[in-house]
Amino acid sequence: MAHSHDHGRLKADRRALAGALALVAGLMVVEIVAGVVGGSLALLADAGHMLSDAAALAFALVAASLAARPARGSWTYGFSRLEILAAQANGLTLLVVALLIVYGAVRRLVSPTDVHGGIVLVVALLGIAVSLAATALLSRASRKSLNVRGAFLHVATDLAAFVGTAVAGAVVLATGWDRADPIASLLVAGLMLWASFGLLRASFRVFLERAPAEIDPEVVGRAIVSVPSVVEAHDLHVWTVTSGFPALSAHVLVEPGADCHGVRRVLEGILAERFGLEHTTLQVDHVGPPSAVGVEIGERFRRESPLA
């Protein structure tokens, strides 16, 4: 059931990514030509961003396709984490392009060049229309996917960039003030840096197997030990395998004579209902004699568990 739902999600993601890629690639060609003819750094900066977007969308599309492959052999989770890798690559790409735009904009502020405001304005308005269409496509895809989120941020920053470029083109056209073009580029770069930071932080959380932001391991642990018959819980780990796939593992000790399988079923229900943890691995054992608990389990529990 879960696998079928995930497969459907990935299929929808692929369609959205492919449509957005076609729109972005077409606009990128128009921007490069117009940027060279119009002498606009803002347009060329947007074109560079669009190039990174096209590559990012292509990578995201490939990642979504590979992530749909079933687990087999030594790939026990399949290729699902390629989505997170694509998201991290998108974050790094945003960072690099933003820094290049800042460098070019500073040079243009020091030594401004002639900018054809009319060409800039027309292409920017076209870019707004295309970016709106691509953003609408990606907004229909899974909101849980960090991969789609990375692609969406690329396109969303393009939309903001085109708005800034359109304003800059109008200013140049009306006043002849060429420095409006690099100033618009700096504003776009700032937005890209902000988006990059958020995406890199989210992907690093997954790669470092940190608990999902919405799940507090200590709260989970206390919920486990609050169940009747449960004495202790240790070796508790909560992490994210890939987007929308949180997982948990723990060693749970129950009172002598308690039904281990019954307690495990109760715990699985609580974890799924309260925390959205449907992929759990619980080792449930009876607690040993007091001497064994104090030496073999108690000390280790105090070192590793947030419940101690």
Provide the residue-wise pLDDT of the chain in tens; the chain has 308 residues.
Answer: 444 445 566 677 788 888 888 888 888 888 788 777 777 666 676 676 677 778 778 877 887 777 777 777 777 777 778 878 888 887 888 888 888 888 888 887 887 766 667 777 887 788 888 888 888 888 776 666 777 777 787 788 778 777 887 888 788 778 878 778 788 888 888 888 888 888 888 888 888 888 888 899 988 998 999 899 888 888 899 998 887 789 999 999 998 989 999 999 999 999 999 999 989 999 999 987 654 444 333 333 332 444 44
Query: Does 284 share its domain with 236?
Result: yes
Full domain range(s) for residue 249: 217-304
Measured distance CA(224)–CA(89) in Å, rounded: 37
Residue that terminates a domain, selected from 181, 207, 233:
207
> Do 130 and 13 belong to one domain?
yes
Measure Cα distances from 278 to 100, 148, 185, 240, 272 in Å: 44, 22, 45, 12, 5
Q: Mark whether 148 and 24 lie in a shared domain.
A: yes
- Same domain for 221 and 187: no
Separation of alpha carbons 168 and 42, rounded Å: 8
Q: Where are the alpha helices (DSSP H) in 69-179?
A: 82-110, 117-139, 146-175
Of 153, 178, 207, the residue that ends a domain is: 207
CATH number of the structural domain spanning residue 146:
1.20.1510.10
- CB contact at 8 A, 236 and 225: no
Which DSSP symbol is given to 39? T
Number of domains the chain is built from: 2
